[in-house]
Structure 1
Amino acid sequence: MADMDPQGIPSPEPDNKPAAGNDSQPTPRWMQPPRIFAQRMGTTVRQRWARRLCLSPLLASTIALPQTWAAQDLAIPEQPNMPGLAQMIDHEQWDEAYAYVRQQQNAIVPEVRAIVSDPRTSGTAMEIAYGFLRKVPTLESATLLAQGLGKGGGRTSVFGLIENPRPDVYPILKAKLQPPKEEENKNLLLTMAQIPVPPEQRIADLKPYVGAKDYGVRVGAVFGLALLDDPGSMELMTRALGADDRDGKTVPLMIFYQFRAWRTPKFVPVLIPVLNDPMPIKDIGLRRYNADGSESAMTPQELRYLRARDYALNIIVKTLKIDVPFKLEDDVTYSKEQRELVKQKLRDLGYTVTDEPHPVTNGV
């Protein structure tokens, strides 16, 4: 279970040291020899820094990039008269880049636009460039983030727009919507739901997607409508959380886990029954390490899972800031005693608490 991303909190500026947990061995800094510009078309940004600068999952407010990406995927082409920010990204000068962004503020927007508009810029370098816009909460940066949503901005665009919501970008986002039978980006709908334009307009735009072909988009539409208090949407959230398959239940739980807009007391009642839901969501400990150093698959009795009830407990306790005598950690299973303690504290807070999970459904 990854930490939650507190939407609206700018990502911290990294210090210049290896990212803990990402590299098992310190990576020596590679100093490339002087080369002419024509020879430097493949200059790379090291993967561990890309993982740190883009978006790490959830609470760290940066998203972890897949560790399987090859180094060449992180390339940014160098050329004569390259903008200053592009050079800093290219040369991994992160301290200088953050200082430059603080100094230039809105003036970096044209530089980022130049970087992301170059067809030779890699997807990872694009997301790094978009990430710097999160430090510049202006209309111009929000506009570029909106343009990048679904086109290289990744979840950087999503989080940046939630942190800096501007009514002016809503038409840009709406124009990106595909018909319900074709739309596949639930984050687009979740972002639109949080842009401050009249609720009636957002409801009208989101409602057709409750019937979308893509399951994640349907759930995204339901969550957006629930955020806007559309009648019947809370019942649909309940159906989503009662899904009878692992993938169907994971989608709504991860929306709660990733987006602060839904981590409010308003939505705690719909999560309480999930405290009783044993459905396995994530495998833990798929390999057994033997005494001789070899590995073997665990038996069914040895397998451990992160279950729906573990996600619910983590989300509820963090949402309500409940004082508990145990530590909330990632990738852990909570005991029945710990769940019962949280239930009692919910009763003390005035919530109606059940000992049953949501009725099983086929989702939404």
Structure 2
Amino acid sequence: MADMDPQGVPSPEPANKPAAGNDSQPTRAEGVKPTPRWIPPPRTLEQRMGTTVRQRWARRLCLSLLLASTIALPQTWAAQDQVNQEQTNMPSLAQMIDHEQWDDAYAYVRRQQNAIVPEVRAIVSDPRTSGTAMEIAYGFLRKVPTLESATLLAQGLGKGGGRTSVFGLIENPRPEVYPILKAKLQSPKEEENENLLLTMAQIPVPPEQRIADMKPYVGAKDYGVRVGAVFGLALLDDPGSMELMARALGSGVRGKKEVPLMIFYQFRAWRTPKFVPVLIPVLNDPMEIKDIGLRRYNADGSESAMTPEELRYLRARDYALNILVKTLNIDVPFKIEEDVTYSKEQRELVKQKLRDLGYTVTDEPYAVTTGV
């Protein structure tokens, strides 16, 4: 194989180079002759020119790479500085809430996703944060269905999260947050938050565990907590709980009857065909639940209450009709909405629709009870 010069160009084989493979030793008679020294021939002009051209191109390549880096790096640094500046100039979530920049806030939450959890934690931990701002901040967590957001919502239930924490946990139920909720429970004599029990009933941990945790609160001191425990147990098919629901709906006290109706009204978990039979008798219940009468504006600018004949009430039967139609998606020729009273003809139409669906329908309300 031809030798290579330092620049990688093959050198021609010299004519006086010793033959390869001749390893015989000289005899004593011949004497030892010095080994001829091989001297490479001088390089030709073409070889020197080739080397010079390659060196020139190598230098040009290095120079161009160096020049490109000196241009690209400042541009990269400038772009990064611009991003950092934009992030610095971007108002925080707390500022957007404070200035009621709702579109910007929702866009920010969509971009940041789970990264907003530390910001919300900082907002709700700040003693200067108002109750309204705190609940709004918790509300943004409903847009981020992660374990971190659920954990913060669970921590906020009963401590500023309001119904936002309740609905957020129902929408993003995580078994990991159940111990946090359970730790919030006070004794049956002290507990006053029925939403805590209603939320615990919907967290996916073993039903036996939820039943065991809620059952003592059927005898709680607070009436709302008692009803919340009953509804939670009914959701989990605990024996006897449906009968207790019927007792709650048959209460002869306006404030007590309102509690179970509002649970049906606000929580989708109980607006299912399973609970339709327990609501049907309420279609016949005329108890006044909510005063929706308007005040009269007099000609002199003053106001006065309407007469008893002018007052309008949302009654138990109106709540029941609203809930039943929405639960079963019954097709009716009239509008279903809040704060609306329904005529006897409309109620009878809904009853007939229920019969057509196979339900047993009564024309009598529940017998009056003392509740649960």
Q: TM above 0.5, one fold?
A: yes
CA deviations 1:71-113 (Å, max 9, x no partner) are 9999999999998211222232222211111111111101111
Secondary structure of the equivalent of 1:282?
strand
C-alpha contact 1:7 1:259 (8 A) present in aligned 2: no
Secondary structure of the equivalent of 1:69?
helix
Deviation at 1:63, TM superposition (A): 55
Deviation at 1:334, TM superposition (A): 0.5
Measured in 2, the distance between the counterparts of 1:243 and 1:24 equals 124
CA deviations 1:107-153 (Å, max 9, x no partner) are 11011111111111111111111111000000000000000001111
Measured in 1, the distance between the counterparts of 2:242 and 2:115 equals 43
Task: Give % identity.
Answer: 90
Deviation at 1:302, TM superposition (A): 2.2
Deviation at 1:192, TM superposition (A): 0.2
Counterparts in 2 of 1:59 and 1:227: CA distance versus 1, 3 Å = farther
Measured in 2, the distance between the counterparts of 1:267 and 1:228 equals 12
Counterparts in 2 of 1:316 and 1:85: CA distance versus 1, 3 Å = same
Deviation at 1:8, TM superposition (A): 74
Deviation at 1:3, TM superposition (A): 93
Counterparts in 2 of 1:180 and 1:43: CA distance versus 1, 3 Å = farther
Counterparts in 2 of 1:79 and 1:258: CA distance versus 1, 3 Å = same
Measured in 1, the distance between the counterparts of 2:358 and 2:39 equals 61
CA deviations 1:18-75 (Å, max 9, x no partner) are 9999999999999999999999999999999999999999999999999999999999
Deviation at 1:15, TM superposition (A): 93
C-alpha contact 2:248 2:371 (8 A) present in aligned 1: yes
Deviation at 1:299, TM superposition (A): 2.2
CA deviations 1:135-191 (Å, max 9, x no partner) are 000000000000000111111100000000000000000000000000000000000
Deviation at 1:332, TM superposition (A): 1.8
- RMSD between aligned residues: 30.3
Measured in 2, the distance between the counterparts of 1:137 and 1:76 equals 28
Aligned pair 1:204/2:204, yes or no? no
Measured in 2, the distance between the counterparts of 1:274 and 1:149 equals 32
Q: Using the TM superposition, name which of 13-22 and 60-69 deviates more.
A: 13-22
Counterparts in 2 of 1:280 and 1:172: CA distance versus 1, 3 Å = same
Measured in 1, the distance between the counterparts of 2:305 and 2:104 equals 47
Deviation at 1:330, TM superposition (A): 2.0
Secondary structure of the equivalent of 2:75?
coil
Deviation at 1:288, TM superposition (A): 2.8
CA deviations 1:258-279 (Å, max 9, x no partner) are 0000000000100000000000
Deviation at 1:300, TM superposition (A): 2.0
CA deviations 1:333-359 (Å, max 9, x no partner) are 101000000000000000000000011
CA deviations 1:265-317 (Å, max 9, x no partner) are 00010000000000000112152344565432222222221100000000000
Deviation at 1:206, TM superposition (A): 0.4
Counterparts in 2 of 1:107 and 1:197: CA distance versus 1, 3 Å = same
Measured in 1, the distance between the counterparts of 2:36 and 2:322 equals 38
Counterparts in 2 of 1:12 and 1:55: CA distance versus 1, 3 Å = farther
Deviation at 1:255, TM superposition (A): 0.2
C-alpha contact 2:2 2:13 (8 A) present in aligned 1: no
CA deviations 1:212-250 (Å, max 9, x no partner) are 000000000000000000000000000000000100000
C-alpha contact 2:207 2:236 (8 A) present in aligned 1: yes
Secondary structure of the equivalent of 1:56?
helix
Measured in 2, the distance between the counterparts of 1:92 and 1:255 equals 31
C-alpha contact 2:173 2:204 (8 A) present in aligned 1: yes
Counterparts in 2 of 1:60 and 1:265: CA distance versus 1, 3 Å = farther
Partner of 2:370: 362
- Structure with higher RCO (Cα < 8 A, 6+ apart): 1
C-alpha contact 2:254 2:287 (8 A) present in aligned 1: yes
Measured in 1, the distance between the counterparts of 2:128 and 2:16 equals 27
1:282-297 correspondence runs (5 A): 282-290=290-298, 294-297=302-305
Q: How many residues align?
A: 364
Secondary structure of the equivalent of 2:88?
coil
C-alpha contact 2:114 2:146 (8 A) present in aligned 1: yes
Deviation at 1:320, TM superposition (A): 0.4
Measured in 2, the distance between the counterparts of 1:168 and 1:299 equals 55
